[in-house]
Amino acid sequence: MGARVTMRDVAEAVGMSPMTVSRALRDDDMVNAKTRARVRQVAQDLGYVYDSTSQAFRTQKSGFVAVTLPSVNNANFAETFRALTNGLSEAGVQLLLGSTNYRVEREEELVRQLLARNPEALVLTGGHHTDEMRKLVQDRQLPVIEMWDLPADPLGHVVGFSNARAMELIVDHLVTTGRRKLAFVGASEGADMRGVVRRDAVVSAARSRGLPEVALIDAGPAPVSMRHGAAVIEAMGRDVAKFDALVCVSDPVAFGCMSALQRMGLQVPDDVAITGFGQFEVAKVANPRITTVNVNADEIGQQVVSVLRDIFDADAPATVTRDVGSALVVGETT
Amino acid sequence: MGARVTMRDVAEAVGMSPMTVSRALRDDDMVNAKTRARVRQVAQDLGYVYDSTSQAFRTQKSGFVAVTLPSVNNANFAETFRALTNGLSEAGVQLLLGSTNYRVEREEELVRQLLARNPEALVLTGGHHTDEMRKLVQDRQLPVIEMWDLPADPLGHVVGFSNARAMELIVDHLVTTGRRKLAFVGASEGADMRGVVRRDAVVSAARSRGLPEVALIDAGPAPVSMRHGAAVIEAMGRDVAKFDALVCVSDPVAFGCMSALQRMGLQVPDDVAITGFGQFEVAKVANPRITTVNVNADEIGQQVVSVLRDIFDADAPATVTRDVGSALVVGETT
DNA sequence: ACCGAAATTGTTACCGATAACATGATACCG
DNA sequence: CGGTATCATGTTATCGGTAACAATTTCGGT
């Protein structure tokens, strides 16, 4: 009861060496079929539980892939994570998850912790990191995948899409539908780099298309969600109607804005158009449906899995960059 | 470059024994301050990364707490997970996360994998498990916490609330506001036990209060979300107006239902009332605000952390049950 | 300067699985 | 029936830390 059951115990019980037990419990070896069956039976009877820690230690292969996400509490990142989990659990790989809370310093600390677990690959969300952190991962010969962005100076493999180009799609769409006075609703400067990139892309796209300067509506520190969108629009009051369109950093924010507008009696899209980002479920179900950009979180996950598979199979693949693209999804808010 | 830097290397570089290095790198020991500083400096210079795997192996303490969630892609579970992460990262504990996809068989398999990592505690969502799985965890002297439910036959500690009582709050509220013909919108029988409990509670609460039998609207296999709620109501058409109220298994489903109703031109709550569950963000921001039940996912996480702290501090605490309760949050849909 | 206590560093063995190599058992061949 | 290829099992050493204990140094008080 007190002591834990080890392979040695199982070996003793079947009257064989631990090595044979080890082989019998793993699939891939040449062990007599009857022996294997007996070993497995005894192992089960004794309540033996395999010790991955020892295996990881002995083989120097942890069976872990480390993943950092800005937040789990985001349907898109969660979806990518789900796809990763599903794709990798078949390969017997477990995920070590950490949240950066949208802060690069937190990411550095986190990666330090994760590296101590000796992961076989590192999957990072985004391409913005501290210098210290870059050094950390580059010193090791550890496969790194950055996802959700297309960083200018990648650490290794990349699976993502261009946030900037996605925003241009939106701006062009708004121009086409006759909107000119745009406002961007997003988080305060700083933490959420993806948001910053989107904002800057909107601003510069508007400029290059000859629109008036884009107004910036600050919904508070990242992460911003439904309630922040609603709150900031509520605070503005009917003033907001001076804009033709609210370009929001994400669908939840867009939904929050829309809800606030509707409560004030303003019509979407007649009084103000709204766009979101990320094709969250709410965009499809909201009334009216929110015009958004499909970023296919699931496919990002799958592509990352595929890259990891390649890495694990062939030991030294060239670093790849996969652009999963993005597409405008026109709803009823524009 | 090829070989990894170990404590031995650091020890050699500073001219001391590995043991001293080990002590210097951990905080809590009595090492000369200057020695410690020197060791740390050298370790950093050499790019030494601590190997938690070895530590876990030697000390037989993994530094892991294993957590199973039905799905990461659920704002409430994600919130609980976030609270767990935050609370435990201070204690130097890492979380090992697995998703059961709302299936007990998957849970069993998952727990098997997680146990192989030798976690110091196991945090499970819900109180329904396979027999095999119950044996698995009871054989070990491993602290187990079930959360989000109040199981009749708990495996160990419990932090949760009564789904049944929460649904009674809703039924009573609907009765008070004059509703009698209720329909429950949830997933098909089977996987999501929490949903089943909620449904049964509504049915029996309605009976005991003398209401007509509750109609059951099947939104498809778990997990069900916005789009499933919307789809099933759309499929029903205006027939749905024969009900006084739609009692939904969750806020997202409620939002989907509401959206579908509104698209058909039905008024909420005038034509049909709607209730949700879980106080998701969408309930607060939707228009009208959805009447729901606050379940405080964050507090569940915090309470679990507190129980874990107690477990880690004092080795053998009695098993505790903490009811975090739930409260009706009246919105504008009833 | 000497002694004992406290502070600091060192030595040895070991956690559990498995790679690499060695050995024993069995089958198959002419 | 001897000899070799094949299959099946056993032996030994080891991954990188650290517990437990041992040895050494430092220091204050007399």
A57 belongs to a structural domain: no
Cβ-in-10-Å burial (0-12, 13-18, 19+) of A151 comes to: middle
Q: Give the residue-averaged pLDDT of B87-92.
A: 88
CB of A50 under 7 A from strand D?
A: no
Please indicate, yes or no, whether residues B35 and B94 belong to a single structural domain of this protein.
Answer: no
Subset of residues 10-49 in chain A with CB less than 7 angstroms from any atom in strand C: 18-19, 22, 25-26
- The answer for residues whose C-beta is within 8 angstroms of residue A153's C-beta and 6 or more apart is A127
CB of A49 under 7 A from strand D?
A: no
Rounded-to-integer distance, Cα B215 and Cα B185, Å? 9
Please indicate, yes or no, whether residues A95 and A155 belong to a single structural domain of this protein.
Answer: yes
pLDDT digits (tens, 9 = 90+) for A253-311: 999 999 999 999 999 899 999 999 999 999 999 999 999 999 989 999 999 999 999 98
Q: How many Å lie between the alpha carbon of B63 and the closest alpha carbon of chain A?
A: 10
Please indicate, yes or no, whether residues A313 and A254 belong to a single structural domain of this protein.
Answer: no
**Any idea how long chain B is?**
334
Asked if B274 contacts B249 with a C-beta cutoff of 8 angstroms, the reply is no
Coil, helix or strand at residue B148: coil
Asked if B60 contacts B50 with a C-beta cutoff of 8 angstroms, the reply is no
Among candidate residues B13, B2, B19, the one with its CA nearest the CA of residue B44:
B13
pLDDT digits (tens, 9 = 90+) for B250-291: 999 999 999 999 999 999 899 999 999 999 999 999 999 999
CB contact under 8 A, A72 and B54: no
B231 belongs to a structural domain: yes
Residue A185's DSSP bridge partners are: A217, A248
Least confident of A10-14, B2-6, B138-142, B172-176: B2-6
The yes-or-no verdict on residue B315 having pLDDT over 90 is no
A124 belongs to a structural domain: yes
pLDDT bracket for residue B1 (50, 70, 90): very low
Please indicate, yes or no, whether residues A111 and A183 belong to a single structural domain of this protein.
Answer: no
pLDDT bracket for residue A138 (50, 70, 90): confident
Q: Give the residue-averaged pLDDT of A49-75.
A: 94
Q: Which candidate from B139, B225, B285 shows the least CB-CB separation from A226?
A: B285
> Looking at beta carbons, which residues of chain B come within 8 Å of A82?
71-73, 99
CB contact under 8 A, B51 and A118: yes
CB of A31 under 7 A from strand D?
A: yes
- Please tell me the pTM assigned to this model: 0.91
CB contact under 8 A, A252 and B112: no
Rounded-to-integer distance, Cα B148 and Cα B323, Å? 9
Among candidate residues A103, A70, A97, A61, the one with its CA nearest the CA of residue A82:
A97
CB of B37 under 7 A from strand D?
A: no
CB of A6 under 7 A from strand C?
A: yes
A23 belongs to a structural domain: yes
Rounded-to-integer distance, Cα A131 and Cα A168, Å? 30
CB contact under 8 A, B49 and A140: yes
The number of C-alpha atoms within 13 Å of B249 and in the hemisphere containing its C-beta is 27
Q: Domain range spanning residue A103?
A: 62-161+298-324
- Please name the nucleotide lying closest to A20, CA to C1': D9
Cβ-in-10-Å burial (0-12, 13-18, 19+) of B307 comes to: buried
B332 belongs to a structural domain: no
Please indicate, yes or no, whether residues A258 and A199 belong to a single structural domain of this protein.
Answer: yes
- Residue A34: give its domain's CATH number: 1.10.260.40
C-alpha dihedral, B230 to B233 to B236 to B238, nearest 10°: -110
CB of B75 under 7 A from strand D?
A: no
Asked if B269 contacts B334 with a C-beta cutoff of 8 angstroms, the reply is yes
CB contact under 8 A, B252 and A281: yes
A79 belongs to a structural domain: yes
> Looking at beta carbons, which residues of chain A come within 8 Å of B252?
281
Chain D: bases < 7 Å from a protein Cβ: 7-12, 14-20
Please indicate, yes or no, whether residues A85 and A234 belong to a single structural domain of this protein.
Answer: no
Please indicate, yes or no, whether residues A114 and A261 belong to a single structural domain of this protein.
Answer: no
Among candidate residues B54, B136, B56, the one with its CA nearest the CA of residue B96:
B56
> What's the distance, CA B223 to chain centroid?
14
CB contact under 8 A, A82 and B71: yes
> Looking at beta carbons, which residues of chain A come within 8 Å of B75?
73, 75
Q: Which two tokens stand for residue B324?
A: 């975090």
Please indicate, yes or no, whether residues B141 and B182 belong to a single structural domain of this protein.
Answer: no
Coil, helix or strand at residue A219: coil
Mean confidence (pLDDT) of chain B: 92
Coil, helix or strand at residue B251: helix
Please indicate, yes or no, whether residues A193 and A130 belong to a single structural domain of this protein.
Answer: no
Rounded-to-integer distance, Cα B229 and Cα B6, Å? 56
Rounded-to-integer distance, Cα B72 and Cα A266, Å? 36
Please indicate, yes or no, whether residues B14 and B32 belong to a single structural domain of this protein.
Answer: yes
pLDDT of residue A189: 76
Q: Which candidate from A79, A225, A285 shows the least CB-CB separation from B230?
A: A285
Distance from CA(B51) to C1'(D24), angstroms, rounded: 30
What are the φ and ψ backbone dihedral angles of B99, each rounded to 5 degrees?
-105, 135
Tally the domains of chain B: 3
Rounded-to-integer distance, Cα A194 and Cα A128, Å? 9
Q: Which candidate from B98, B115, B286 shows the least CB-CB separation from A259?
A: B286
Among candidate residues A159, A158, A183, A160, the one with its CA nearest the CA of residue A171:
A183
The yes-or-no verdict on residue A165 having pLDDT over 90 is yes
- The answer for residues whose C-beta is within 8 angstroms of residue A166's C-beta and 6 or more apart is A198, A201, A277, A293, A295, A326
A315 belongs to a structural domain: yes
- Residue A70: give its domain's CATH number: 3.40.50.2300
Please indicate, yes or no, whether residues A38 and A149 belong to a single structural domain of this protein.
Answer: no
Coil, helix or strand at residue A15: coil
> Looking at beta carbons, which residues of chain A come within 8 Å of B257?
none
A302 belongs to a structural domain: yes
Please indicate, yes or no, whether residues B284 and B181 belong to a single structural domain of this protein.
Answer: yes
Chain C: bases < 7 Å from a protein Cβ: 7-12, 14-20
Q: How many CB atoms lie within 10 A of CB A302?
A: 18
Rounded-to-integer distance, Cα B44 and Cα B40, Å? 6
Q: Which candidate from B78, B259, B281 shows the least CB-CB separation from A225?
A: B281
Asked if B224 contacts B251 with a C-beta cutoff of 8 angstroms, the reply is no
Q: Which two tokens stand for residue A53?
A: 């820690």
